[in-house]
Structure 1
Amino acid sequence: MRKILKITLATTLVSAGIALGSIFNITAQGAGATGQAGTADDPVVTKSYVDQQIQKALGGGVSTPPTTPTNPTTPPPTTNPSDNKETTVVENTVSVVTLKPGEKLIAKAGTEFIIRSGKGVIYSEDANGVADLTDGKDIANGQAAGNNHLLSFPRDGRGIMVQEGNKYNLIVMVRGGYSIQ
């Protein structure tokens, strides 16, 4: 008799669990979680569409995919007579720049940096800093900038340099105009 009671109770509990699980699943799907890709709630987009939207956001409304120049030109390095150091300005290309301790990488307005290796801090002549687009915050003068974060320089005269006390070089990817001081 006890054995039959245990089997009946176990069967009832399992059936109730399955019924409740089905009810909760239906309720969750009715709340907007359709689970089907390609619907209005979960659209499927192509890589070309995403690239086009990124270019539109970065390029001020370009509606066609970007074209690469057939013969990109890089201006030759120029020399600053006041300090006899080479100043390089490269527009609309991605350059990998190595900074030694004591050097500053100064950006032109609209330039973007990504620190790939080393420890860098923000340099600014005024109280304002630069935008860390990865974290969505501003980094003030003298504060550390994270590696692999996209940094946007809104005005001339701001940049990065090797963190004080660090003896290793700073390797930075740069898109836009810059100079090394």
Structure 2
Amino acid sequence: MNRYTKTFGILVTAAIVAGGVNWYQSAYADVQQTTPGLSDDPIVTKSYVDQKIAELKSGENSGGNSTPEDATKLEVVTIPLGAKLMVSAGGEIVVRTGKAVAYSSDSNGLSDLTAGADIASGSPIATNHLILFPRDGRGVEPDPRQKNGLTVLVRGKYQLS
């Protein structure tokens, strides 16, 4: 092998290696380098997760004074005859005892999730059906034709009036 062929081979090999390095750098140039511990770092530590869980439990990040446990808790409420139970938007009830009547301050009613139906204001509510309150200004009251009040399970914020 002569001197020029050997030099040409070395130059070709160097060009291939340089091209490969250039391709590797351009292919991975958009990978963002992050500093560990900053907010843009996708890896979190156990202490960070524990801190966020503690904030959620204390209500710091919930946007209100209810905790995640309160949002899923069912509360037994007795509604006396002549009173109304007004439930906030997103709240749910299940009528357990007594005859309930839907109340709405506008023309729309309540959502009966068990039957897949809309309950108009003044209409009876079936026992043991899950009822959703899509907006504020809606509630339930005992049927005025009965002698006793009403017992319901409530999930969410409510007001007895």
2:158 equivalent in structure 1: 178
d(CA) in 2 for partners of 1:178, 1:156: 10
How far apart are the structure 2 equivalents of 1:124 and 1:168? 22
Tell me the distance in 1 between the aligned counterparts of 2:122 and 2:58: 39
Aligned residue for 1:126, secondary structure, equals coil
Match of 2:103 in 1: 123
The 3-state SS of whatever aligns with 1:127 is coil
Aligned to 1:104: 84
1:150-169 equivalence runs, <5 A? 150-169=130-149
Q: Which has the higher contact order (CA 8 A, sep 6+)?
A: 2
Deviation, 1:71, is 8.9
Correspondence 1:26-41 to 2 at 5 A: none
1:141 aligns with 121
Q: TM-score, normalised by structure 1?
A: 0.50
Q: Distance in 2 between matches of 1:175 and 1:145?
A: 17
- Residue 29 of structure 1 is matched in structure 2 by none
Counterpart-to-counterpart distance in 1, 2:83 and 2:113: 24
- Structure 1 stretches of 4+ with a deviation exceeding 4 A read 69-72
One-letter code aligned to 1:145: I
Partners of 1:108 and 1:178 lie apart in 2 by 6
Q: Cα RMSD over matched residues?
A: 2.3
Note the C-alpha offset of 1:140.
Answer: 0.3
In structure 1, C-alpha distance between the alignment counterparts of 2:147 and 2:89, rounded to whole Å: 29
CA distance in 2, matches of 1:155, 1:71: 27
Task: Determine the C-alpha separation between the residues in 2 that align with 1:177 and 1:70.
Answer: 18
The 1:104–1:70 alpha-carbon spacing in structure 2 relative to 1, beyond 3 Å, is same
- Give the drift of 1:173: 0.1
Give the C-alpha shift of residue 163 in structure 1.
0.5
Gaps of 5+ in 2: 1-52, 60-64
TM-score calculated relative to the size of structure 2: 0.56
For the residues of structure 1 that align with 2:133 and 2:143, how far apart are their CA atoms?
A: 18
Q: Residue 154 of structure 1: SS of its match in structure 2?
A: coil
Q: Percent identity?
A: 44
The alignment covers a number of residue pairs equal to: 98
